[in-house]
Structure 1
Amino acid sequence: MKFKFLDFDVIKGEDIDLHLIKTVTGNKAKKWVPTYHFNISLSGSSIPIGKIDIRIGYNENLYYGGHIGYSVHEEYRGNRYAAKAVQLLKKVAQAHEMKKLFITCNPDNIASRKTCEYVGANLLAIVNVPEDNDMYQRGEKEKCIYEWVCT
Structure 2
Amino acid sequence: MMPPESVSRGGVTLCLDEYFEPRPPIDVPVLRYRIEVAGQTVGELRRRLGETSDLRRYFGQIGYEVQPAFRGRGHASMACRQGLAVMQGLGYDEVWITCNPENRASRRVCEKVGAVLVETVDIPAGHVMYQHGIRQKCRYRVRV
State the TM bucket, normalised to the shorter chain.
over 0.9
Give 2:92's aligned residue: 98
Q: Mark the runs of 5 or more structure 1 residues left unpaired by the alignment.
A: none
The answer (yes or no) to whether the contact 2:25–2:128 under 8 Å persists in 1 is no
How far apart, CA to CA, are the structure 2 residues paired with 1:80 and 1:30? 30
Match of 1:16 among 12, 15, 25: 12
Match of 2:140 among 122, 135, 146: 146
Q: Mark the runs of 5 or more structure 2 residues left unpaired by the alignment.
A: none
* Cα shift readout 1:2-45 (whole Å, capped 9, x = no counterpart): xx6x1421111122000110011223x645111110000114x1
Pair 1:132–1:60, CA change in 2 (3 A) = farther
The answer (yes or no) to whether the contact 2:18–2:32 under 8 Å persists in 1 is yes
Give 2:44's aligned residue: 51
Letter in 2 for 1:17: T
The answer (yes or no) to whether the contact 1:40–1:52 under 8 Å persists in 2 is yes
Count of equivalent residues = 143
Letter in 1 for 2:33: F
* Cα shift readout 1:92-116 (whole Å, capped 9, x = no counterpart): 2122211111111111000000000
TM-score (normalizing by structure 2) = 0.93
Match of 2:111 among 100, 114, 117: 117
CA shift at 1:81, angstroms? 0.7
TM-score (normalizing by structure 1) = 0.89
Match of 1:81 among 75, 80, 86: 75
3-state secondary structure, aligned to 1:78: coil
Pair 1:18–1:127, CA change in 2 (3 A) = same
Give 2:35's aligned residue: 40
Shift >2 Å, 4+ stretches: none
How far apart, CA to CA, are the structure 2 residues paired with 1:31 and 1:70? 16
The answer (yes or no) to whether the contact 1:56–1:96 under 8 Å persists in 2 is no
The answer on 1:128 being equivalent to 2:122 is: yes
